[in-house]
Amino acid sequence: MKVNGTTKIYGIMGNPVSHSLSPAMHNAAFQAQDLNKVYVAFEVTDVARALDGFRALGIGGISVTIPHKQSVITHLDTIDPVAKKIGAVNTLLIEDAHIRGYNTDWIGANQALKPIVDLPAATVLLLGAGGAARAIGFGLQEKGATVILANRTVEKGQALARDLNCEFHPLADLKDLKVDALVNATSIGMTPNVEETPVAKAFLKHIPAVMDIVYSPQETRLLREAKQVGCKTVDGRYMLLYQGVAQFELWTGRKAPVDIMREKLFSQLDSS
Q: Which of 16, 58, 67, 130 binds ligand ATR (CB under 6 A)?
A: 130
Interaction between residue 186 and ligand ATR (CB under 6 A): yes
Query: What is the Cα–Cα distance from 191 to 9, expressed in whole angstroms?
Result: 33
Q: 125 near 179, Cβ under 8 Å?
A: yes
Interaction between residue 87 and ligand ATR (CB under 6 A): no
154-164 and 131-142 helices, crossing angle to 10°: 30
CB-neighbour burial class of residue 159 (10 A; exposed 0-12, middle 13-18, buried 19+): middle
Interaction between residue 71 and ligand ATR (CB under 6 A): no
Cβ proximity to ligand ATR, 153 vs 228, nearer residue = 153
Nearby residues of 272 by Cβ (< 8 Å), 6 or more positions away: 19, 21
Q: Which entry of 69, 85, 143, 264 is annotated as an active-site residue? A: 69
Q: Which of 31, 123, 158, 187 binds ligand ATR (CB under 6 A)?
A: 187
Cβ proximity to ligand ATR, 187 vs 268, nearer residue = 187
Cβ proximity to ligand ATR, 22 vs 252, nearer residue = 22
Q: Please indicate whether residue 84 is annotated as part of the active site.
A: no
Q: Which of 8, 55, 114, 156 binds ligand ATR (CB under 6 A)?
A: 156
| CA distances from residue 40 to 46, 53, 217 in whole angstroms, order as listed | 18, 14, 26
Footprint on residues 189-208 left by ligand ATR (CB under 6 A):
196
Interaction between residue 243 and ligand ATR (CB under 6 A): no
CA atoms within 13 A on the CB side of 70: 8
Q: Provide the CA 121 distance to its chain's centre, in angstroms.
A: 22
The residues that touch ligand ATR, with contacts defined as CB under 6 A, are 128-133, 151-153, 156, 186-188, 196
Q: What positions carry a catalytic annotation?
A: 69
